Amino acid sequence: MIYLKLFFEFFYTGLFSFGGGYATLPFLYHIADKYHWYTTKQLSDMIAVASITPGPVGVNVATFAGFSTSGILGALIATTSVILPSFIIVIMLSKFLNRYSDNRYVKSVIYTLKPAGCGLLAAVGVDMFVNNINFVGMLLLLGLFCAGAAEKRDPLFYLGISAVAGLIAGFFNLAG
């Protein structure tokens, strides 16, 4: 039963990938080895494509695996099952937090969690910066950041500009 297998494998991926970002990748590689729904080459292509198609990589790969094995229904099942664990856990956690929102300990924990969330996000940014940026990229980033800090516009505006800048840089062989 391919549908059941898809459901089980992607539910498992959603349930055990901690930490966000690329935490789903080890599971997705494991699935590639086990079932041959997609090859590891296709997976690395997917990861590249996922940076320009909308949506998180984990969701993109689930849709792709489901679609390439068993069409649109497979895509639907795989996509739903990778998200289902999140849905259940987040709703339970939200209910708990709502019920105890006046508790002093819960308040204190939330007060401490906020700067921690900010710290984690900053670490993600630095990590992405160190790993994928060259000199031209740095100039582009600096320019965009100054423009963005001076005047806040729709994110789409900046993504559009950076896509065009990428094209131009690629034309002159400057893109990483």
Partner 1 sequence: MEITLYQIFKTFFKVGTMLLGGGYVILPLLQSELVERKGWISDEDLCEYFALGQSIPGIIAANVSIFVGYKLKRTAGALAAISGIVLPAFLAIVIIAKILEEIVNIRFIQSIFWGVGIGVLMLLFLAVKEIWRKSVVDKFTCFVFFLVFIMSSCFKVSPAFLIILVIFIGLCLEAVKRIEKE
Per the CB < 8 A criterion, the answer to whether 86 and 14 are in contact is yes
Tokens coding 160: 């559009």
> Using the rule CB under 8 A, is 167 a contact of partner 1?
yes
Cα dihedral sign, 12-16-18-24: negative
Q: Build a one-symbol-per-residue string for 4-43: x at contacts with partner 1 by CB under 8 A, - elsewhere.
A: ----------xxxxxxxxx-x-----------------x-
Q: How far apart are CA 38 and CA 35, in angstroms?
A: 8
Residue of 2, 3, 35, 162 that binds partner 1 (CB under 8 A): 162
Which of 5, 13 has the CB closer to partner 1?
Answer: 13
Q: Build a one-symbol-per-residue string for 68-107: x at contacts with partner 1 by CB under 8 A, - elsewhere.
A: x---x--xx--x--xx-xxx-xxx-xx---------xx-x
> Using the rule CB under 8 A, is 135 a contact of partner 1?
no
Total residues binding partner 1 (CB under 8 A): 96
Tokens coding 31: 């699935």
> Using the rule CB under 8 A, is 151 a contact of partner 1?
no
Residue of 67, 70, 77, 81 that binds partner 1 (CB under 8 A): 67
Per the CB < 8 A criterion, the answer to whether 27 and 16 are in contact is yes
Q: How far apart are CA 20 and CA 17, in angstroms?
A: 7
Which of 40, 108 has the CB closer to partner 1?
Answer: 108
- How many whole angstroms from its chain centre is CA 48? 12
